[in-house]
Structure 1
Amino acid sequence: MSEKESVGLDHWFETSLDLLCILNDQMGFEKASASWSHSLGWPLGELTSLTVLELLHCDDIKSVEKALSNCLKTGEAAHFECRCKNRDEQYIWFSWSVTRQGKQLYGNGHNIDAKKQSEIHTLYKLNLLEMAEQTARVGHWHLDTASGLFDWSQEVFNIFGRRPNKTEITLDDFIDAFSGSHQKQLWTLIQQALNDASEINTELVIKREDTQRRSVIVRAVCERDANQVIKGMFGIIQDVTEERLHQKSLRNKEELLSMAFRATSDGIWDWDLVSDQVWFSPQWKAQLGYADDEIVNRFDSWANLVFEEDRLKAMNELDAHCQGKTDRFEMIQRFRHKKGHTVFILVRAYALRDEEGRAIRMIGAHTDITEIKKLEQAKSEFTSIVSHELRTPITAVRGAIGLLNSHYNSELSDQVKKLVELANNNCERLTLLVNDILDMDKLQSGRMDLDIQPIQINSFLNTVIDNHRTYGDQFGVSLHCDTNGEDLQVLADQDRLMQVMANLVSNAIKFSDEKDTVKVRAYLRNKKVAISVIDTGRGIPREMRDKIFDKFTQADSSDQRHKGGTGLGLTISKAMVENMNGTINVISKEGEGSTFSITLPSA
């Protein structure tokens, strides 16, 4: 090389903005331009101690080494892109052209980092778009009207159930994927859109290569150039098969639900507790004499039709159910019918809850029980009339038999005395039965008035024992009271509680063996007062324990004949205790005795 050529080369190395270098056959630096320092921060003195491979990104070393080695071997110029490391350990993209002169390589590197970063960003966006299309089952397509070129995204292949098998695809390939007459329909829509610049929005059926038929939505808009001339069309295709199947399933369910609403006589209501939206079924409104359009679906509509007393009670019980204090809501409400009379409705409802257990919706049903209420009232009135009418003759017969037994007993033969005693016992049983029937009638109709007052348990139970001591002597059974010395008080109606205790204690005496002891205990349990009547008699069979509080039920049907009683005592006792905000239960083992326990609020 002449001196002039050498000076020219040095000048080129000094002024070039590209990275220039001369490498030996070991790929080490023989000479480097000043731009290496400007672009990458490497002092030229340090470069001579490095090979070019040491400055490359680890992912690029293998491909660059192969390209340079091939250039050294064959003399064929190498062109490649790679990332070079600057002094701060950051990588910058360069495009390289390398040629061979003897045993040296001449390299020219051009900074393409901005372009490359843009390509990477674009590729990232395309990947995101592809992921979004796969997630939404939406593919896009594009038609260039000038060239006739057609292109679609990977998701279109997925929707069509095809694999890319052609270097070029056409509009015909796109249309051929559709089923039967839908091909012609789509072609007509595309032609019409290109003619008048309209949009395409239609739902068609495709036939995949696996023979599946899928429902798809096709949408498209026209592209225009600067002169507003149509130059192409861009569209999307979306697989909506599952959505349509779901909609069909919902329609079927709605139709079944609608049929169920029409088939049942119950009224249905739905209350969205979040939005406060309320819906009443047509049958709900018809129960009150109204047409569907005569009652607005608002909370006020219910509030204006229900009795005030029932409305306040309903709101309290609904609130308790929403707070999870009750398993479900159920009560009888009185409504004003359109014609003015009262309608009795049995209302039942359940709350739907979110993941945190908050009530967000209430679904309920209305059952018209007005006729049942009328029957109950008629039965109650009949029972009351019959019971009262029976009292008068029973009292007269009982008085006559008592008079006969007390004044003329000495004049009666033994046979007549037995008949008089039998008649007297049956009068007593009839009197008990009439009284129990009247009590049941009052309890069922809600006409039994209670006077709830604090009751001192010690003196009360002593009175119970004294009242039954003579009765216990008849059976050879003693009585014992135990209150553990505690000064306990309960809130109850004293006369009704005495009636309950009389039933329990007399039963315990009747079903105890001679020389047994019936114990009456009182104690505090969970801030309430429990009263237990304990006997060591025959006990209650297992199969009867769940029925013992039912009407006309006794542990043995023969007991009614041999022990006396109406079979209503425990039923009445249970109802009275519950009306006094208490509970009653029994624990029994056959052959070992029974324990009846009452729990009442403490005063």
Structure 2
Amino acid sequence: MRISSSTKLIAAIAAGVAILAVLGLIVVLRLTYIGTALAIALLIGFVFVVKRYESDRRRYERELGSARERLGLALDGSGSAIWDWDVSKDQVYLSAGWAQMLGAEAKETTISPKELLGLVHDDDVNRVQTVLKDALTGAAADYHEEHRVRQTDGEFIWILSRGKVVRRDGQGKPLRMAGTNLDITERKRAESALFEHDQRLKLALDLAGMVSWDWDVATDKLVWNDDPQRLLGPEPDGGYPDRKQMVHPEDMAEFVRVGGESLRSGEAYRSEFRIRRTDGQIVWIAARGRPVKDARGAVTRVIGVSQDVSEIKQAEQALRESEARFRLTFELAGSGIAHVNMDGRFLRVNRSLCAILGYSDKELVRRTVKELSHPEDRDETDAARARVRAGELESARFQKRYLRKDGATVWVHLTVALVRDAEGEPLYEIAVFDDDTERKNVESALRSSEMELRLVTDAVPAVISYADAEERMRFCNDTMVKLLGRPRETILNHTMREIFGEERYRVLEPHVRRALAGEEAHFERTQVKAGGDLLDLAVQYLPRRNERGEVEGFYTLATDITEIRRLERLKSEFVSTVSHELRTPLTSIRGSLGLLSGGVGGALPDKAKGLIEIAKNNCERLIRLINDMLDIEKIESGKMTFNLRALELMELIEQVARANDGFAVQHGVRLQVTAAVPGAKVQADGDRLVQVLTNLISNACKFSPAGRSVDIAVARLGERLRVEVTDHGPGISYEFRQRIFQKFSQADASSTRQEGGTGLGLSISKAIIERLGGEIGFFSEPGKGATFYFELPEWRERSLPGAVAPVLTGAQAEPDARPRVLVCEDDPDVGKLIQLILQNAGLASDIAYDAAGAKALLLDKHYAAMTVDLMLPDQDGLSLIRELRTAPGMAHLPVIVVSATAEEGKLKLHGENLEVIDWIGKPIDENRLLANLRQVQGAARMRVLHVEDDPDLRGVVSTIAREIADFESAESIGDATAKLARERFDMVLLDLGLPDGSGWELLQLINRMTPRPRVVIFSAHDAGADRGQNADPYLVKSQTSEQQLIDTIRGAFDAAA
């Protein structure tokens, strides 16, 4: 132990004190000479003792220093560091070796345990704390743990930390703990490497299919340690034959020679030979064996492994063939190939490289690659090669220039890779030269072409753009940039949703979907220019497909048709004016011709009759033309009125077929209905639908050959009905298909005029069908006829859930309980006006000034119909209607749009069917509104579910009350429960005695329904005690007259309203 400076000071002071004490004793006691001599002797002895002490102290310090030096050397040599933890002070002393171990300056330090624990890897912290806790508490005799700690540079090393509690207090609480830390990082790496090596060795043996064996030399017995079947084939009943019997005769001599040489020399051997397996198959075997000697040095056993190397042998043969092919490929390859040594000289070159560079092979092998490189490309080439040689890249591919022998510059794509030897040292480079000169020329031409295309597209007065499959804009011309009024960079690489905004994108989205599905999309839309002007655009989306036929985007061509639309409006106004001016004189002419033909002016000669008939027919033709022109003008201006009502479709079709039967006979064809949907209804204007059907049938008759049929078919497609009219004529040419629905379009003008056609029928039919919420189209194959079709939404009964037939009551209800209409209108004056119109028509109404108020009233009351303004303060009208169509009981609520933006709102639907009865603009067409409401009122009859197991009584009740309600029957609780879950009823007429239980059980279910239908109990038994608190009307069958039953049903329904 080291003697501190304080100890030295104390010894010096003690010596001084002793000397002073002796001198004082001599003076005070005045000792005699002898006494003085004794004192001096004592003093001398004391000085001697002190000197002896000092000498021993120095010797001990030297020994201690040597011990400390040896300990330091031992710690340094073992890579260990000492730690000493004063538990009571929560301080840990760490030797200089610890700091050195962490990569810091080698010096002793003291830190807290928390700081020391902070150096431990996160994954090891819990384990270290657990082991340390066991040592501190005495659960473990000592502390011994391997874990990772972080060095100053952030890297982690593995240490083995050992320690032990060396001092505890009387209660066993630890006071001091000491130990060492040993850097075991290298050992851990070695363990990991060894484990990986073992795993790889095991995997290699498994994958190689090796089988181990043990041969006893003395007994000549061979024992297979693994399953030998995969090597030798299935084992025969008597066991495998002697190994020499299995060796191929041609390999036997070599097999015996190698084995004998190994036995004599005691050295390991390796041999390859063929064997015949037990299944007759010849395979190649690679055997490795090592002799095992006894104490005397004699070989007693040979152990080894054998492996089927047939595939390797085959691979070697394939390799030899491959090398031959490589040599052939090297010479005949279309790309230039060279082997280049490490100083950059050509070793070998093929013919193609000679052709690219213009040198012979002998000339090239005398040159370096750098000599032939273009001076401007040499630095880049050298840098790429250096990275390959440094191992940063497996290969480098880049574009560069070389100088040909004739002085021309050639562009190549150069690929460089490095061939290394077994030790990883570079041997030579393989360089592949792909002549890129032609592609460079093509690229230059392409850039010029693209520039010309840009100039052309920018000069075209139309929007031209391209969007990829993700709807991201990849190209746009200057016209689009100017139209949108925004920089090109805010358009390119942005999605259509981002460019046009959410609202306008929703208009475009259906057409985008069609284009990305591979269909061309043609439509018209409006666009606000940057300056605020409104443009009409005719838009085409044209899909672009890749070589696999997959759609990878679409082109847009949008043409400004604002001026065209303006001219069309002018034309429509002109047509309207002229048509009206012509109708009056034509009416007089037709009337006069009719009178003359009827003999009013006296008998006419036959010749005059013929002339008058010609004049009369052409007058009728001219009137039809004028009427068609007026229809077109009305449709385009939105002035054509539609008297919508529910129509039996099959009845209408049969009526039109009968009406056109004479026309068909005139053309030698017959009309026939080939498919029908009985009972199907559509909501349409009967006259207009007859006009469409007549046009399609008459066209089919005109173009069908004599003796053939015109087929009419009806089918249900989901919620739509489809009507098809098929002829067997010449079909429609491809050239005419694009304009078939345009005004005044005729496939064969001469023949059509002979038949009296105007070229307006299909255009009018298309407009009518679209106004009815449907679509019209055709399909045809030249020479095989054509089929024209239209689809309309199927009409279903639109009675509001809970609505009373025939009327609903309200605050101003008349005694006969008028039908009630909900008016949703944000303008109070307009709302009161609509309410006054309804009141004068005998209808009750409530007004809601916003969407929230309308929804609240719909939950509280029952309405026969509803009018909706599209511009509401809290929600747009279209979204309100969509919401109602998904709400329970509101799917078929009759809705009439009454709005200043009715037509615009209808256009926003893009074919979506919201089952709107009509779209009425402002100022309000009172007659049109009331006509629609009268139609709804006629359909709004009360629906009653009669739960009764007696079919005769059900029939009597439905007959008695047929004027006020439509009845549906259920003969059991189960049947009634299913119908109540599936359908909506205004009232339940309930019998209590049912075959599968009591009607009171069904009543509990009805009480939980929202909204709850009214209930009238109609039972053979008195109410009795079972009725409880139930307040529904209760009728006893034997005590109730027919009028009482009707009055009770009506009264209960009126109370509900």
Normalising by the residue count of structure 2, what TM-score does the alignment of the two structures yield?
0.34
- 1:138–1:237: 8 Å Cα contact kept in structure 2? yes
Question: Displacement of 1:328 after TM fit?
Answer: 3.1
Question: Displacement of 1:44 after TM fit?
Answer: 5.9
2:412 aligned residue: 215
1:253 aligned residue: 446
- 1:178–1:207: 8 Å Cα contact kept in structure 2? no
1:271 aligned residue: 467
- 2:345–2:365: 8 Å Cα contact kept in structure 1? no
1:569 aligned residue: 761
User: For residues 327 and 240 of structure 1, do their structure 2 counterparts lie closer, same or farther at Cα, with a shift above 3 Å needed?
Assistant: farther
Question: Displacement of 1:456 after TM fit?
Answer: 0.6
1:384 aligned residue: 573
Which amino acid in the other structure matches residue 388 of structure 1? T
2:918 aligned residue: none
1:363 aligned residue: 554
**Which deviations, in whole Å up to 9, do the C-alpha atoms of 1:197-237 show, x marking residues without a partner?**
x9x9994427699x99773659899xxxxxxxxxx999856
Question: Displacement of 1:178 after TM fit?
Answer: 7.3
Question: Displacement of 1:395 after TM fit?
Answer: 1.3
1:317 aligned residue: 511
Question: Displacement of 1:499 after TM fit?
Answer: 0.8
2:42 aligned residue: none
Q: Tell me how far apart the structure 2 counterparts of residues 513 and 237 of structure 1 sit (CA, whole Å).
A: 77
Q: Tell me how far apart the structure 2 counterparts of residues 207 and 564 of structure 1 sit (CA, whole Å).
A: 79
RMSD: 6.8
Q: Tell me how far apart the structure 2 counterparts of residues 447 and 398 of structure 1 sit (CA, whole Å).
A: 23
User: For residues 394 and 314 of structure 1, do their structure 2 counterparts lie closer, same or farther at Cα, with a shift above 3 Å needed?
Assistant: same
Q: Tell me how far apart the structure 2 counterparts of residues 319 and 478 of structure 1 sit (CA, whole Å).
A: 42
Query: Residue 175 of structure 1: SS of its match in structure 2?
Result: coil
Q: Tell me how far apart the structure 2 counterparts of residues 422 and 574 of structure 1 sit (CA, whole Å).
A: 32
**Which deviations, in whole Å up to 9, do the C-alpha atoms of 1:34-73 show, x marking residues without a partner?**
xxxxxx97666579x9xxxx9xx99x979989x99xxxxx
Q: Tell me how far apart the structure 1 counterparts of residues 488 and 704 of structure 2 sit (CA, whole Å).
A: 67
1:327 aligns with 2:542: no
Question: Displacement of 1:161 after TM fit?
Answer: 5.6
1:83 aligned residue: 270
Query: Residue 241 of structure 1: SS of its match in structure 2?
Result: strand
User: For residues 424 and 576 of structure 1, do their structure 2 counterparts lie closer, same or farther at Cα, with a shift above 3 Å needed?
Assistant: same
Which amino acid in the other structure matches residue 505 of structure 2? R
Q: Tell me how far apart the structure 2 counterparts of residues 312 and 93 of structure 1 sit (CA, whole Å).
A: 80
1:24 aligned residue: none
User: For residues 180 and 298 of structure 1, do their structure 2 counterparts lie closer, same or farther at Cα, with a shift above 3 Å needed?
Assistant: closer
**Which deviations, in whole Å up to 9, do the C-alpha atoms of 1:327-354 show, x marking residues without a partner?**
2344334332222223425232315479
1:428 aligns with 2:617: no
- 2:522–2:541: 8 Å Cα contact kept in structure 1? yes
User: For residues 405 and 364 of structure 1, do their structure 2 counterparts lie closer, same or farther at Cα, with a shift above 3 Å needed?
Assistant: closer
2:476 aligned residue: 281
Identical residues among aligned pairs (%) = 18
- 2:741–2:766: 8 Å Cα contact kept in structure 1? yes
Q: Tell me how far apart the structure 2 counterparts of residues 513 and 277 of structure 1 sit (CA, whole Å).
A: 52
Which amino acid in the other structure matches residue 318 of structure 1? V
Q: How does 1:63-462 map to 2 (within 5 A)?
A: 83-84=270-271, 91-92=287-288, 141-143=340-342, 160=353, 173=365, 175=367, 203-205=400-402, 215=412, 217=414, 236=429, 238-242=431-435, 245-246=438-439, 248-264=441-457, 265=460, 267-273=463-469, 277-288=472-483, 290=485, 293=488, 295-299=490-494, 303-305=498-500, 308=503, 311-322=505-516, 324=517, 326-343=518-535, 344-350=537-543, 352=545, 361-368=552-559, 370=560, 372-399=561-588, 402=591, 406=595, 410-411=600-601, 414=604, 425-441=617-633, 454-461=646-653
- 1:178–1:204: 8 Å Cα contact kept in structure 2? no
Query: Residue 566 of structure 1: SS of its match in structure 2?
Result: coil
- 1:505–1:533: 8 Å Cα contact kept in structure 2? yes
Q: Tell me how far apart the structure 1 counterparts of residues 726 and 765 of structure 2 sit (CA, whole Å).
A: 16
- 1:328–1:348: 8 Å Cα contact kept in structure 2? yes
User: For residues 179 and 382 of structure 1, do their structure 2 counterparts lie closer, same or farther at Cα, with a shift above 3 Å needed?
Assistant: same
Question: Displacement of 1:509 after TM fit?
Answer: 8.5
Q: How does 1:454-493 map to 2 (within 5 A)?
A: 454-461=646-653, 463-464=655-656, 486-490=678-682, 492-493=684-685
Q: Tell me how far apart the structure 1 counterparts of residues 402 and 705 of structure 2 sit (CA, whole Å).
A: 87
Question: Displacement of 1:378 after TM fit?
Answer: 0.6
- 2:714–2:721: 8 Å Cα contact kept in structure 1? yes
Which amino acid in the other structure matches residue 678 of structure 2? E
- 1:161–1:208: 8 Å Cα contact kept in structure 2? no
User: For residues 180 and 534 of structure 1, do their structure 2 counterparts lie closer, same or farther at Cα, with a shift above 3 Å needed?
Assistant: closer
Question: Displacement of 1:312 after TM fit?
Answer: 1.2
User: For residues 474 and 291 of structure 1, do their structure 2 counterparts lie closer, same or farther at Cα, with a shift above 3 Å needed?
Assistant: closer
Q: Tell me how far apart the structure 1 counterparts of residues 747 and 412 of structure 2 sit (CA, whole Å).
A: 70
- 2:415–2:431: 8 Å Cα contact kept in structure 1? yes
Q: Tell me how far apart the structure 2 counterparts of residues 511 and 446 of structure 1 sit (CA, whole Å).
A: 32
- 1:202–1:219: 8 Å Cα contact kept in structure 2? no
Q: Tell me how far apart the structure 2 counterparts of residues 521 and 237 of structure 1 sit (CA, whole Å).
A: 76
2:686 aligned residue: 494
- 2:337–2:433: 8 Å Cα contact kept in structure 1? no
- 2:726–2:785: 8 Å Cα contact kept in structure 1? yes
Q: Tell me how far apart the structure 2 counterparts of residues 473 and 172 of structure 1 sit (CA, whole Å).
A: 90
- 1:160–1:206: 8 Å Cα contact kept in structure 2? no
Question: Displacement of 1:565 after TM fit?
Answer: 4.5
- 1:267–1:287: 8 Å Cα contact kept in structure 2? no
Which amino acid in the other structure matches residue 600 of structure 1? E
Which deviates more, 523-532 or 504-513?
Answer: 504-513
Q: Tell me how far apart the structure 2 counterparts of residues 351 and 403 of structure 1 sit (CA, whole Å).
A: 63
User: For residues 62 and 174 of structure 1, do their structure 2 counterparts lie closer, same or farther at Cα, with a shift above 3 Å needed?
Assistant: farther
Question: Displacement of 1:394 after TM fit?
Answer: 2.7
Bigger-Rg structure (1/2): 2
Query: Residue 299 of structure 1: SS of its match in structure 2?
Result: coil
- 1:508–1:518: 8 Å Cα contact kept in structure 2? no
Q: Tell me how far apart the structure 2 counterparts of residues 157 and 558 of structure 1 sit (CA, whole Å).
A: 75
Question: Displacement of 1:434 after TM fit?
Answer: 1.8
